[in-house]
Amino acid sequence: MTPLWRILALWRGRAVWLLLGVVVSLAALACAVMLMTLSGGLVAGLAAGAALAAPFALRVLGPLRVVLRYLERLTTHDATFRALADLRVWFFRGLAASSAGGLGFRRAGDVLARLVNDIEALDGIYLRVLVPLAGAVLLLPVLAVAIGGVDPLAAVAVVLLFAASAFLLPLVSARAAAGMGERLSTAGSALRVACLDALHGLREVRAFSAEGRMLAAVQAQESGLLGAQHELARRGAVASALAFLCAQAGIWVVLLAAGAHPAQAALLVLLAVAAFEAVSGLPRAGVSLGQAADAARRVLEAAEAKPAVPDPAPGGPLPKGSALRFEAVSFAWMADRPAVFDGLTLDIPQGARVALLGPSGAGKSTLAALALKVAAPQAGRVLLGGVDIATLPAAEVRARIGWLSQATHLFDDTVRGNLLLARPDADDAALWAALDAAQLGEVVRALPDRLETWVGEAGARLSGGQGRRLALARALLSTAPVLIFDEPCAGLDAETERAFLATLNQVAEGRTVVLIAHRLTGVERLDRIYRLSAGRAVAAAG
């Protein structure tokens, strides 16, 4: 249960709303029990000819119960939504801190399952467990006192049956379902991974007529998820059946005890019915609790992963200038993988325009990751303005180094929204200046909504060249003195590539520019060219 306590601790900022929901829920429960009990009292009073005050109380309690039930749903669900929203924000911040270079070796479907399914599973902690448990704690002494006044032995039996239904069965169910929660979460992640793979590769699937095979893979994962859900539902049904038997046994005991007191029989029986009904969902909620415990562990595991490069203590010296130097750098992404660099030394002077060439796997993108402090070398240093970036906060490094990759993502947002990612405080004049520098200004001016035009998912409403120019405008909008262009023309046709590189020749004057590419087209304007080979950088031209 430790992960669940950790999640509850994260919700302390919403403690007022959560407590308010519990209080209103208890008030609604008290009203419902009183309404049921007074109804029994009214029946007994009519039989004895002594019912006077009950009808008036019922007229008050009836509408009050409706109002309180509405307020209960309003407050408890609002508290849950607020707590889950806070949890998602916390999860995303943790994921971003530990995955500055992207998801890395994580699978997108698994991360999505944790962000959506696992966090949604945690709403049951409050709504289906904590709130009903508070009601059970309130009802337990009420049952003991009310039935104990008629028959103490019957009160003991009813209290034990009630405690079994409200406390023991949920605990046993939670323990029994703990492993199933892991199985359910894993199966859900596998299904999302299979679906995302099929959707992202839909063009290739159609091209190779592999629809049947991909569908079979998705159905196989779906079958695993349905099996886990079926098993979880079966355990919940068993728990509910046992709770029902406890409730029936409790009502039977009350009937036997009240046999010698017919005037109180209806009142006590309806009180027992109301009490057991109020906690009837707890045994099934115990199954959800076991699932939530596994979900909480998965959420914490993903959100609290240590960042690849932790930030140092503040207060160190700041860079003087924008010269970039890799000094005897050795690096491998994982211990069991070959080294990407082995003693790499490379100087990129301030204001220089440098090209880094090499085949796939030579380490070109890895070099950018090291410069951006997404990864840290196992040996050697990376210096920016004469300062080891290991002594600088990541935010300070990334404020001084801009980056445009071969797969720069455009968000399903407006042109303005995509640009402001680089500089949130930029005004319209700065946005248009960046678009004009990237030679996209006239295109955007011709759009019906101009800066407010939505670009679509991954920039689907723009051509490949336009999307790349929008990404370039975003990079130019930053004030970073160093710009790294990592395969910026990947996927573009030859003519669009030459036009894009010609634009690069005209922009970023006065900044340090690092162009990473497989090859050169001949239109680039460069000061130095290096070729990456065997983990080293070799000068190819002066």
- The whole-number pLDDT of residue 49 equals 47
**Where does CATH 1.20.1560.10 sit in the chain?**
2-303
Q: What is the pLDDT of residue 12?
A: 81
What lies within 8 Å, CB to CB, of 258 at 6+ separation is 150, 151, 264, 265, 268, 269
- Read off the tokens for 441: 């200004």
Residue pointed to by tokens 């009904």: 277
Give me the sign of the Cα torsion angle 189, 190, 191, 193: positive
Burial of 373 per CB tally in 10 Å (0-12, 13-18, 19+): buried
| Order of all β-strands in the sheet with 528-533 | 401-404, 482-486, 512-517, 353-357, 528-533, 536-541
**CA distances to 101, 333, 427 from 422, in Å:** 16, 28, 12
Low-confidence stretches of the chain (pLDDT < 50) are 47-51, 103-105, 542
Residue among 407, 408, 404, 418 at smallest CA distance from 454:
418
pLDDT given for residue 48 in this prediction: 47
CA angle 527, 430, 394 (to 5 degrees): 65
DSSP assignment of 223-244 equals HHHHHHHHHHHHHHHHHHHHHH
Please give the helix or strand (H or E) that residue 331 lies within, else none: strand 324-331
Question: Which CATH code is given to the segment(s) 2-303?
Answer: 1.20.1560.10
C-alpha–C-alpha distance, residues 487 and 490, integer Å: 6
Helix axes 54-98, 282-303, angle to 10 degrees: 20
Amino acid 160: pLDDT: 92
Pairing of strands 353-357, 512-517: parallel
Query: pTM for this structure?
Result: 0.66
Q: What is the pLDDT of residue 170?
A: 85
Strands, DSSP E only, in 405-511?
482-486
Residues of the chain with CATH 3.40.50.300: 324-541
CA distance 536 to 513: 20
- pLDDT tens digit sequence for 469-484: 888 888 878 778 888 8
The SS3 call for residue 406 is: coil
| Beta strands 387-388; 353-357: pairing state | unpaired
Position 522 scores a pLDDT of: 59
Number of helical (H) and strand (E) elements in the chain, helices listed first:
20, 10
Per-residue pLDDT, 42: 62
CA 240/CA 238 separation, integer angstroms: 5
How confident is the model at residue 323, as a pLDDT? 83
- Beta-bridged to residue 86, according to DSSP, are none
For residue 418, give the nearest of 448, 447, 456 by alpha carbon.
456
Kindly report, residue by residue over 333-360, the tens digit of the pLDDT: 777 777 778 877 888 888 888 888 877 7
Q: Which residue has the tokens 């160190």?
A: 316
The CATH T-level fold of domain 324-541 is Rossmann fold (3.40.50)
Mean of per-residue pLDDT scores for the chain: 77
Give residue 50's pLDDT: 47
Residue given tokens 């971003």 in the structure block: 96
Give the H/E segment covering residue 536.
Answer: strand 536-541
pLDDT at residue 346, rounded to an integer: 83
